[in-house]
Amino acid sequence: MIYYSIHKAEAMQHLMTLVSRSRTYWYTAGRIEAKDLSRVLNHLNSKYQLNNDKRKNSYLKSIDEPVWHLVIWFNRKQRNPNKIYQFWLMTTGSSDPDAHEKLIRDENLRCLLSSEKDQMLIFENYVLGQLHIKSKGKSKIEEMVIPERRHKSSMMPIPEHAPNIRSRTDDIDDDTIVDPESNDVNDKHVVTGTSQLDQMIQGIAPVASHGLVTSFKIRWTWFIKQSSMKDWEKRLDQAIILYPKRPMEYEKAMHDIFRHVGFRGVRKQIGILSGRYHRRMRLTYPQTHQNATRPRALGFIRIFAKSYANFKEFHDACITESIKWIKELELQEQHKQNRIVLRKRIRESDVKYKDLTNVQIDEIINQQKFKIAEISQQEFAVFLKDNQNMDINLMEMNL
């Protein structure tokens, strides 16, 4: 199947869902220029049967044929006239070792279950990893397993090709079950029998001997890359040093951190980082730390449905969103020039805004969504004239 997306969070969720539920652990990625889009997509579709529906894919999986999925993301914020589409081609692989090795070699596929850096699934400043959730009675321990870091426990596979496993397993959210009869919570044996699987569906079976860990789940999620986390730590370190003279730097850094995409792994990382630096502020500036405001919560990511039924809908949405982005930039520039006046008006509008800092006032201004009028046919035509490589009339698409 083909998943078209324009919003970053939507593309990331499609990738995460394919890995966690469709078990597509092998993938390749690349970029396509708009002028080559029709040729490349037609080739991929004819070679990998990307137009198959769920029933056809289930049949292919039952006869041990690899099932392929394609995720395409268009970044509407591109300023380059040669527009770029980013894609990820993902597959379930084969249970036959020889056929699987040949598939990986011929298609030059990477494996998500590897901890090697060149195998990681990276989306801008994010990397796909796992949360190992261990339940001990009523308490839960969540261990982050990020591929670019060295861990005591590594990435764990899911019982994808185990015999006699019913399709009902795909409905157990995006959790993976580890052998309940193992005493070692890091044991990499997976459930292979329907009797054990039934126990998992009803409620994960307890560990046989000492019973300390009552269940062990694996959840795929996105994390912020370690290089980006180090950059944020450097910025916060500098902001704490400058806090007595420039308190807005710390507040702005915290607000910027909380603007990340709110997947579970990202929320966990930001929660740990925010708590650590809040403690540092309290110890470094015990008298004035309460004056520093910080966001209290990071938003969750809602579930995205399949947004576009075909390439034509996706293509028109790409052009529409690109035009809207250009208009938003123009409005942002106007707001930037009138920011001093806007701050004054907001402070005078209500008593509760009177004592807010400039950073807090700017946050209120930035939260106001720009009202963009409907895109006219004339604006559509002007955009295509400036970006002829995106003209669908010049593309020969079979999608």
Paired tokens of 40: 């490349």
pLDDT of 167 reads 30
pLDDT of 192 reads 32
Question: CA 317 to CA 328: how far, in whole Å?
Answer: 16
pLDDT of 97 reads 85
pLDDT of 130 reads 87
Order of strands across the sheet that contains 2-5: 2-5, 68-74, 84-91, 26-33, 110-111
The one-letter code for the residue type at 102 is K
Question: CA 82 to CA 388: how far, in whole Å?
Answer: 9
pLDDT of 371 reads 60
pLDDT along the chain (399 residues), means of 10: 90 91 89 86 89 86 89 86 87 87 90 80 90 74 71 48 31 32 32 34 35 68 92 93 86 88 90 90 84 76 76 86 84 75 81 78 69 70 73 60
